[in-house]
Amino acid sequence: MKIHPDDITTFNQADENQRAEDLDFLTRRLTSSGHDPDKILDRLSDLQIAIPSWALGSGGTRFGRFPIGGQPRNLDEKIEDVGLLHQLSQMAGNISLHIPWDIPDDTERIKALAAEYHLTFDAMNSNTFQDQPDQKLSYKFGSLSHTDPFVRKQAVEHNKQVIDYGKSLGSKSMTVWLADGSNHPGQTNLSSALKRTGDSLAEIYAHMPADWSLFIEYKPFEPYFYSTVIPDWGTSYLLASETGERAYSLVDLGHHLPNTNIEQIVATLISRGKLGGFHFNDSKYADDDITVGSIKPYQLFLIFMEIIQGTATSPHNPDIAYMIDASHNLKDPLLDLLESLDAIGLAFLKASLIDFEALSDAQNRNDISRSSAILQDAFHTDVRPLLREYRVRKGGVHDPIRFYAEHNIREQLIRNRGKNTLATGL
Protein backbone atom coordinates (compact mmCIF):
# COMPACT_ATOMS: atom_id res chain seq x y z
CA MET A 1 0.00 0.00 0.00
CA LYS A 2 1.34 3.40 -0.93
CA ILE A 3 0.20 6.43 1.04
CA HIS A 4 -0.71 9.48 -0.99
CA PRO A 5 1.78 12.32 -0.32
CA ASP A 6 -1.16 14.68 0.40
CA ASP A 7 -2.21 12.46 3.32
CA ILE A 8 1.31 12.64 4.69
CA THR A 9 1.38 16.43 4.39
CA THR A 10 -2.02 16.84 6.03
CA PHE A 11 -1.04 14.58 8.90
CA ASN A 12 2.28 16.35 9.45
CA GLN A 13 0.72 19.81 9.34
CA ALA A 14 -1.77 19.08 12.12
CA ASP A 15 0.55 19.73 15.08
CA GLU A 16 3.40 21.40 13.29
CA ASN A 17 3.67 24.31 15.72
CA GLN A 18 3.92 22.16 18.82
CA ARG A 19 6.56 20.02 17.11
CA ALA A 20 8.58 23.07 16.08
CA GLU A 21 8.54 24.31 19.69
CA ASP A 22 9.67 20.92 21.05
CA LEU A 23 12.40 20.67 18.45
CA ASP A 24 13.60 24.17 19.15
CA PHE A 25 13.91 23.42 22.86
CA LEU A 26 15.90 20.24 22.21
CA THR A 27 18.09 21.81 19.52
CA ARG A 28 19.08 24.64 21.84
CA ARG A 29 20.00 22.14 24.53
CA LEU A 30 22.01 20.00 22.15
CA THR A 31 23.89 22.80 20.43
CA SER A 32 24.80 24.37 23.77
CA SER A 33 26.42 21.08 24.75
CA GLY A 34 28.42 20.91 21.52
CA HIS A 35 26.23 18.62 19.37
CA ASP A 36 25.26 19.19 15.77
CA PRO A 37 21.67 17.89 15.37
CA ASP A 38 21.94 17.89 11.56
CA LYS A 39 24.97 15.61 11.67
CA ILE A 40 23.20 13.27 14.06
CA LEU A 41 20.24 13.08 11.69
CA ASP A 42 22.55 12.33 8.76
CA ARG A 43 23.93 9.37 10.68
CA LEU A 44 20.42 8.21 11.52
CA SER A 45 19.69 8.17 7.82
CA ASP A 46 22.46 5.56 7.37
CA LEU A 47 20.83 3.34 9.97
CA GLN A 48 18.46 1.46 7.71
CA ILE A 49 16.88 -1.59 9.33
CA ALA A 50 15.95 -4.62 7.25
CA ILE A 51 12.49 -6.09 7.75
CA PRO A 52 12.35 -9.88 7.45
CA SER A 53 9.86 -11.22 4.95
CA TRP A 54 8.73 -13.80 7.52
CA ALA A 55 7.66 -11.33 10.21
CA LEU A 56 4.79 -9.60 8.42
CA GLY A 57 2.11 -12.04 9.48
CA SER A 58 1.02 -13.15 12.93
CA GLY A 59 3.52 -15.46 14.49
CA GLY A 60 2.58 -18.51 16.46
CA THR A 61 3.84 -20.48 19.38
CA ARG A 62 4.01 -24.24 19.44
CA PHE A 63 0.66 -24.10 21.25
CA GLY A 64 -1.36 -22.00 18.90
CA ARG A 65 -1.73 -19.15 16.49
CA PHE A 66 -4.21 -16.29 16.36
CA PRO A 67 -4.11 -14.95 12.82
CA ILE A 68 -4.83 -11.32 12.10
CA GLY A 69 -6.69 -10.46 8.90
CA GLY A 70 -5.11 -8.88 5.84
CA GLN A 71 -1.81 -10.74 6.10
CA PRO A 72 0.35 -10.64 2.97
CA ARG A 73 -0.46 -13.62 0.76
CA ASN A 74 2.72 -13.61 -1.29
CA LEU A 75 6.09 -11.93 -1.70
CA ASP A 76 4.61 -9.04 -3.68
CA GLU A 77 2.33 -8.15 -0.78
CA LYS A 78 5.17 -8.55 1.69
CA ILE A 79 7.19 -6.04 -0.30
CA GLU A 80 4.16 -3.72 -0.26
CA ASP A 81 4.02 -3.99 3.54
CA VAL A 82 7.71 -3.28 3.99
CA GLY A 83 7.33 -0.40 1.53
CA LEU A 84 4.60 1.04 3.74
CA LEU A 85 6.77 0.72 6.87
CA HIS A 86 9.58 2.49 5.06
CA GLN A 87 7.39 5.22 3.61
CA LEU A 88 6.05 6.06 7.07
CA SER A 89 9.22 5.64 9.13
CA GLN A 90 12.02 6.24 6.59
CA MET A 91 14.04 3.70 8.54
CA ALA A 92 13.20 0.39 6.85
CA GLY A 93 14.76 0.58 3.40
CA ASN A 94 15.74 -3.11 3.21
CA ILE A 95 13.99 -6.44 3.09
CA SER A 96 15.53 -9.75 4.09
CA LEU A 97 14.26 -12.97 2.49
CA HIS A 98 14.08 -16.46 3.97
CA ILE A 99 14.23 -19.28 1.42
CA PRO A 100 12.15 -21.38 0.76
CA TRP A 101 9.46 -19.36 2.57
CA ASP A 102 9.78 -16.55 0.05
CA ILE A 103 11.15 -17.79 -3.24
CA PRO A 104 11.01 -15.02 -5.83
CA ASP A 105 9.19 -16.36 -8.92
CA ASP A 106 10.91 -13.87 -11.21
CA THR A 107 13.88 -12.13 -9.62
CA GLU A 108 13.98 -9.22 -12.11
CA ARG A 109 10.30 -8.46 -11.55
CA ILE A 110 10.64 -8.72 -7.76
CA LYS A 111 13.71 -6.50 -7.78
CA ALA A 112 11.86 -3.89 -9.84
CA LEU A 113 8.84 -4.06 -7.52
CA ALA A 114 11.07 -3.52 -4.48
CA ALA A 115 12.74 -0.57 -6.20
CA GLU A 116 9.31 1.03 -6.69
CA TYR A 117 9.05 1.08 -2.91
CA HIS A 118 12.66 2.30 -2.54
CA LEU A 119 13.71 -1.03 -1.05
CA THR A 120 16.83 -3.10 -1.56
CA PHE A 121 17.53 -6.69 -0.56
CA ASP A 122 19.57 -7.24 2.56
CA ALA A 123 21.00 -10.54 3.81
CA MET A 124 19.51 -13.73 2.43
CA ASN A 125 18.55 -16.47 4.90
CA SER A 126 18.67 -20.20 4.32
CA ASN A 127 16.49 -22.77 6.03
CA THR A 128 17.78 -26.19 6.92
CA PHE A 129 15.78 -26.44 10.13
CA GLN A 130 12.57 -27.67 8.48
CA ASP A 131 11.99 -30.48 6.01
CA GLN A 132 10.27 -29.35 2.82
CA PRO A 133 7.69 -31.57 1.07
CA ASP A 134 9.89 -32.18 -1.99
CA GLN A 135 13.10 -32.74 -0.01
CA LYS A 136 15.01 -36.00 -0.47
CA LEU A 137 16.83 -36.35 2.85
CA SER A 138 15.64 -35.26 6.30
CA TYR A 139 17.23 -32.67 8.59
CA LYS A 140 15.86 -34.41 11.66
CA PHE A 141 19.37 -35.15 12.88
CA GLY A 142 21.08 -32.08 11.50
CA SER A 143 22.04 -30.45 8.24
CA LEU A 144 25.45 -28.76 7.82
CA SER A 145 26.76 -30.84 10.74
CA HIS A 146 25.01 -34.12 9.86
CA THR A 147 26.97 -37.36 10.14
CA ASP A 148 25.79 -38.37 6.64
CA PRO A 149 27.78 -36.61 3.88
CA PHE A 150 24.76 -36.74 1.55
CA VAL A 151 22.61 -34.76 3.98
CA ARG A 152 25.42 -32.24 4.41
CA LYS A 153 25.73 -31.95 0.65
CA GLN A 154 21.99 -31.35 0.29
CA ALA A 155 22.14 -28.62 2.96
CA VAL A 156 25.19 -26.99 1.35
CA GLU A 157 23.47 -27.06 -2.06
CA HIS A 158 20.42 -25.36 -0.55
CA ASN A 159 22.63 -22.59 0.85
CA LYS A 160 24.29 -22.16 -2.55
CA GLN A 161 20.89 -21.86 -4.18
CA VAL A 162 19.92 -19.14 -1.69
CA ILE A 163 23.09 -17.24 -2.60
CA ASP A 164 22.13 -17.53 -6.29
CA TYR A 165 18.69 -16.06 -5.62
CA GLY A 166 20.35 -13.28 -3.66
CA LYS A 167 22.80 -12.56 -6.45
CA SER A 168 20.03 -11.87 -8.90
CA LEU A 169 18.19 -9.67 -6.38
CA GLY A 170 21.25 -7.54 -5.66
CA SER A 171 21.78 -8.79 -2.11
CA LYS A 172 25.33 -8.81 -0.81
CA SER A 173 25.22 -11.16 2.13
CA MET A 174 24.09 -14.49 3.43
CA THR A 175 23.03 -15.35 6.98
CA VAL A 176 23.37 -18.90 8.19
CA TRP A 177 21.48 -19.71 11.34
CA LEU A 178 22.20 -23.36 12.00
CA ALA A 179 19.59 -25.01 14.17
CA ASP A 180 21.64 -28.23 14.36
CA GLY A 181 22.16 -29.58 17.84
CA SER A 182 21.13 -32.37 20.16
CA ASN A 183 18.57 -33.06 22.84
CA HIS A 184 20.43 -35.74 24.76
CA PRO A 185 23.91 -36.00 26.24
CA GLY A 186 25.93 -38.41 24.15
CA GLN A 187 23.63 -38.02 21.14
CA THR A 188 26.37 -36.40 19.08
CA ASN A 189 30.11 -36.05 19.20
CA LEU A 190 30.32 -32.33 19.91
CA SER A 191 33.73 -31.63 18.40
CA SER A 192 33.13 -33.73 15.27
CA ALA A 193 29.84 -31.91 14.66
CA LEU A 194 31.66 -28.58 14.90
CA LYS A 195 34.37 -29.76 12.51
CA ARG A 196 31.79 -30.92 9.93
CA THR A 197 30.00 -27.58 10.25
CA GLY A 198 33.23 -25.68 9.56
CA ASP A 199 33.80 -27.77 6.43
CA SER A 200 30.24 -27.12 5.19
CA LEU A 201 30.55 -23.39 5.84
CA ALA A 202 33.79 -23.32 3.84
CA GLU A 203 31.91 -24.72 0.83
CA ILE A 204 29.13 -22.15 1.18
CA TYR A 205 31.68 -19.37 1.54
CA ALA A 206 33.49 -20.49 -1.61
CA HIS A 207 30.24 -20.15 -3.56
CA MET A 208 29.75 -16.48 -2.60
CA PRO A 209 30.72 -13.72 -5.02
CA ALA A 210 33.85 -11.82 -3.99
CA ASP A 211 31.88 -8.81 -2.71
CA TRP A 212 29.58 -10.88 -0.48
CA SER A 213 29.73 -11.45 3.28
CA LEU A 214 28.72 -14.49 5.30
CA PHE A 215 27.06 -13.96 8.68
CA ILE A 216 27.14 -16.79 11.19
CA GLU A 217 24.33 -16.57 13.76
CA TYR A 218 24.63 -18.31 17.13
CA LYS A 219 22.00 -19.49 19.59
CA PRO A 220 22.46 -21.34 22.89
CA PHE A 221 19.33 -23.49 22.75
CA GLU A 222 16.14 -24.04 20.77
CA PRO A 223 15.03 -25.95 18.85
CA TYR A 224 17.42 -28.35 20.64
CA PHE A 225 17.83 -28.28 24.38
CA TYR A 226 21.03 -30.07 25.29
CA SER A 227 23.45 -28.58 22.75
CA THR A 228 23.51 -26.46 19.64
CA VAL A 229 26.47 -26.68 17.29
CA ILE A 230 26.98 -22.88 17.28
CA PRO A 231 25.82 -21.88 20.77
CA ASP A 232 27.66 -18.63 21.42
CA TRP A 233 29.62 -15.70 20.02
CA GLY A 234 32.92 -17.48 20.72
CA THR A 235 32.03 -20.43 18.50
CA SER A 236 30.62 -18.11 15.86
CA TYR A 237 33.77 -15.98 15.96
CA LEU A 238 35.93 -19.08 15.72
CA LEU A 239 34.05 -20.37 12.68
CA ALA A 240 34.01 -16.92 11.06
CA SER A 241 37.76 -16.53 11.56
CA GLU A 242 38.47 -19.97 10.13
CA THR A 243 36.05 -19.59 7.23
CA GLY A 244 37.49 -16.41 5.78
CA GLU A 245 37.97 -12.68 5.81
CA ARG A 246 34.40 -11.97 4.70
CA ALA A 247 32.80 -14.26 7.26
CA TYR A 248 31.44 -12.50 10.35
CA SER A 249 29.46 -13.16 13.50
CA LEU A 250 25.83 -12.19 13.75
CA VAL A 251 24.36 -11.17 17.11
CA ASP A 252 20.65 -11.76 17.69
CA LEU A 253 19.54 -10.09 20.93
CA GLY A 254 17.38 -13.07 21.92
CA HIS A 255 20.13 -15.63 21.49
CA HIS A 256 21.78 -15.32 24.87
CA LEU A 257 21.31 -16.87 28.26
CA PRO A 258 19.64 -14.54 30.79
CA ASN A 259 21.67 -11.52 31.89
CA THR A 260 24.45 -11.99 29.36
CA ASN A 261 26.32 -8.74 28.82
CA ILE A 262 25.47 -8.38 25.13
CA GLU A 263 27.00 -4.93 24.78
CA GLN A 264 30.34 -6.41 25.77
CA ILE A 265 30.03 -9.07 23.06
CA VAL A 266 29.27 -6.30 20.57
CA ALA A 267 32.33 -4.34 21.71
CA THR A 268 34.60 -7.37 21.47
CA LEU A 269 33.43 -8.41 18.01
CA ILE A 270 33.71 -4.88 16.62
CA SER A 271 37.21 -4.53 18.06
CA ARG A 272 38.19 -7.54 15.94
CA GLY A 273 36.29 -6.31 12.86
CA LYS A 274 33.97 -9.32 13.06
CA LEU A 275 30.49 -7.99 13.80
CA GLY A 276 28.68 -8.41 10.49
CA GLY A 277 24.98 -8.62 11.36
CA PHE A 278 22.62 -7.71 14.15
CA HIS A 279 19.07 -8.93 14.82
CA PHE A 280 16.91 -6.72 17.03
CA ASN A 281 14.12 -7.95 19.29
CA ASP A 282 13.56 -8.01 23.04
CA SER A 283 13.00 -10.67 25.64
CA LYS A 284 12.23 -11.34 29.25
CA TYR A 285 13.32 -14.97 29.36
CA ALA A 286 14.85 -16.40 26.18
CA ASP A 287 14.28 -15.94 22.44
CA ASP A 288 10.92 -14.26 23.12
CA ASP A 289 11.15 -12.15 19.94
CA ILE A 290 9.01 -9.35 21.32
CA THR A 291 8.96 -5.62 20.50
CA VAL A 292 12.41 -4.04 20.43
CA GLY A 293 13.10 -1.89 23.49
CA SER A 294 9.93 -2.98 25.28
CA ILE A 295 11.74 -4.80 28.10
CA LYS A 296 15.33 -3.59 28.19
CA PRO A 297 15.62 -0.16 26.56
CA TYR A 298 18.77 0.66 28.56
CA GLN A 299 20.51 -2.42 27.15
CA LEU A 300 19.64 -1.23 23.65
CA PHE A 301 21.12 2.18 24.42
CA LEU A 302 24.33 0.58 25.76
CA ILE A 303 24.61 -1.57 22.64
CA PHE A 304 24.38 1.51 20.43
CA MET A 305 26.97 3.17 22.62
CA GLU A 306 29.36 0.31 21.83
CA ILE A 307 28.47 0.36 18.15
CA ILE A 308 29.02 4.12 17.80
CA GLN A 309 32.19 4.06 19.85
CA GLY A 310 33.52 0.82 18.37
CA THR A 311 32.96 1.67 14.73
CA ALA A 312 34.66 5.03 15.25
CA THR A 313 37.72 3.49 16.86
CA SER A 314 37.90 0.18 14.89
CA PRO A 315 37.17 1.33 11.35
CA HIS A 316 37.94 -2.11 9.92
CA ASN A 317 34.56 -3.49 11.06
CA PRO A 318 32.20 -3.62 8.05
CA ASP A 319 28.91 -1.71 7.99
CA ILE A 320 26.63 -3.76 10.20
CA ALA A 321 23.57 -5.36 8.56
CA TYR A 322 20.69 -4.56 10.93
CA MET A 323 17.43 -6.47 10.92
CA ILE A 324 14.41 -6.78 13.20
CA ASP A 325 13.96 -10.46 13.98
CA ALA A 326 10.73 -10.47 15.94
CA SER A 327 7.53 -12.44 16.03
CA HIS A 328 4.12 -10.89 16.61
CA ASN A 329 1.74 -13.18 18.38
CA LEU A 330 -0.71 -10.67 19.80
CA LYS A 331 -0.03 -7.30 18.21
CA ASP A 332 -0.68 -6.24 14.64
CA PRO A 333 2.70 -7.14 13.03
CA LEU A 334 3.00 -3.86 11.14
CA LEU A 335 2.27 -1.80 14.24
CA ASP A 336 4.70 -3.87 16.24
CA LEU A 337 7.42 -3.33 13.64
CA LEU A 338 6.74 0.42 13.67
CA GLU A 339 7.10 0.40 17.46
CA SER A 340 10.38 -1.49 17.13
CA LEU A 341 11.69 0.98 14.55
CA ASP A 342 10.83 3.80 16.95
CA ALA A 343 12.71 2.13 19.79
CA ILE A 344 15.77 1.59 17.58
CA GLY A 345 15.75 5.19 16.36
CA LEU A 346 15.42 6.56 19.89
CA ALA A 347 18.16 4.35 21.34
CA PHE A 348 20.49 5.31 18.50
CA LEU A 349 19.80 9.03 18.96
CA LYS A 350 20.31 8.87 22.72
CA ALA A 351 23.59 6.99 22.31
CA SER A 352 24.68 9.64 19.79
CA LEU A 353 24.38 12.24 22.56
CA ILE A 354 26.97 10.59 24.79
CA ASP A 355 29.92 12.87 25.36
CA PHE A 356 32.53 10.25 24.46
CA GLU A 357 35.47 12.53 25.18
CA ALA A 358 34.27 13.33 28.66
CA LEU A 359 33.44 9.66 29.19
CA SER A 360 36.91 8.55 28.20
CA ASP A 361 38.41 11.17 30.50
CA ALA A 362 36.25 10.03 33.43
CA GLN A 363 37.14 6.40 32.72
CA ASN A 364 40.84 7.18 32.68
CA ARG A 365 40.50 8.92 36.03
CA ASN A 366 38.40 6.00 37.35
CA ASP A 367 35.66 8.47 38.14
CA ILE A 368 32.74 6.04 38.15
CA SER A 369 30.14 8.58 39.23
CA ARG A 370 31.03 10.93 36.43
CA SER A 371 30.96 8.07 33.87
CA SER A 372 27.50 7.02 35.04
CA ALA A 373 26.26 10.61 35.00
CA ILE A 374 27.38 11.04 31.38
CA LEU A 375 25.45 7.94 30.34
CA GLN A 376 22.37 8.87 32.35
CA ASP A 377 22.36 12.37 30.94
CA ALA A 378 22.22 11.03 27.37
CA PHE A 379 19.76 8.25 28.18
CA HIS A 380 17.25 10.53 29.87
CA THR A 381 17.21 13.14 27.12
CA ASP A 382 13.86 13.18 25.36
CA VAL A 383 15.00 12.82 21.74
CA ARG A 384 11.54 12.20 20.27
CA PRO A 385 11.40 15.67 18.64
CA LEU A 386 14.57 14.78 16.71
CA LEU A 387 13.20 11.45 15.48
CA ARG A 388 9.97 13.15 14.38
CA GLU A 389 11.98 15.82 12.57
CA TYR A 390 14.03 13.15 10.80
CA ARG A 391 10.92 11.48 9.45
CA VAL A 392 9.27 14.67 8.26
CA ARG A 393 12.44 15.87 6.55
CA LYS A 394 12.78 12.56 4.70
CA GLY A 395 9.17 12.55 3.52
CA GLY A 396 7.72 10.24 6.16
CA VAL A 397 5.23 10.98 8.95
CA HIS A 398 6.26 12.31 12.34
CA ASP A 399 4.31 9.62 14.20
CA PRO A 400 3.96 6.43 12.11
CA ILE A 401 2.15 4.53 14.87
CA ARG A 402 -0.58 7.16 15.17
CA PHE A 403 -0.84 7.53 11.42
CA TYR A 404 -1.28 3.78 11.02
CA ALA A 405 -4.09 3.67 13.57
CA GLU A 406 -5.86 6.85 12.43
CA HIS A 407 -5.85 5.74 8.80
CA ASN A 408 -7.27 2.31 9.65
CA ILE A 409 -4.56 0.62 7.64
CA ARG A 410 -5.25 -2.87 8.96
CA GLU A 411 -8.93 -2.53 8.04
CA GLN A 412 -7.91 -1.46 4.54
CA LEU A 413 -5.59 -4.47 4.25
CA ILE A 414 -8.39 -6.79 5.38
CA ARG A 415 -10.70 -5.28 2.77
CA ASN A 416 -8.09 -5.73 0.03
CA ARG A 417 -6.71 -9.13 0.97
CA GLY A 418 -9.36 -10.85 3.02
CA LYS A 419 -9.84 -11.86 6.62
CA ASN A 420 -8.37 -15.34 6.56
CA THR A 421 -5.15 -14.88 4.67
CA LEU A 422 -1.97 -16.58 5.84
CA ALA A 423 1.61 -15.39 5.47
CA THR A 424 4.55 -17.78 5.15
CA GLY A 425 7.08 -17.64 7.93
CA LEU A 426 7.13 -18.50 11.58
Binding residues for ligand PSV, rule: CB under 6 A, are: 54, 125, 177, 217, 219, 252, 279, 287, 325, 426
Closest distance between ligand PSV and the C-beta of residue 219, in Å? 6
Virtual CA dihedral for 331, 333, 339, 343, nearest 10 degrees?
A: 110
Give contact residues for Mn ion (rule: CB under 5 A): 252, 279, 325
DSSP code, position 410? H
| Position of minimal CB gap to ligand PSV | 177
Judged by beta carbon, residue 321 or residue 375, the one nearer Mn ion is 321
Beta-strand (E) ranges in 78-209?
94-96, 120-121, 124-125, 173-177, 181-182
Whole-number Å distance between alpha carbons of 393 and 391: 5
Closest distance between ligand PSV and the C-beta of residue 127, in Å? 7
User: Amino acid letter at 223?
Assistant: P
Residue 299: closest CA among 259, 239, 352, 353: 259
Judged by beta carbon, residue 125 or residue 243, the one nearer ligand PSV is 125
Judged by beta carbon, residue 80 or residue 325, the one nearer Mn ion is 325
User: Amino acid letter at 398?
Assistant: H
Judged by beta carbon, residue 50 or residue 208, the one nearer ligand PSV is 50
| Helices (runs of H) and strands (runs of E) counted in the chain | 16, 13
Closest distance between Mn ion and the C-beta of residue 255, in Å? 7
Closest distance between ligand PSV and the C-beta of residue 249, in Å? 13
Judged by beta carbon, residue 306 or residue 325, the one nearer Mn ion is 325
Judged by beta carbon, residue 59 or residue 70, the one nearer ligand PSV is 59
Closest distance between Mn ion and the C-beta of residue 251, in Å? 9
Whole-number Å distance between alpha carbons of 309 and 273: 13
Cβ atoms < 10 Å from Cβ of 226: 14
Closest distance between ligand PSV and the C-beta of residue 425, in Å? 8
Dihedral sign from CA coordinates of 356, 358, 359, 361: positive
Residue 407: closest CA among 415, 365, 205, 347: 415
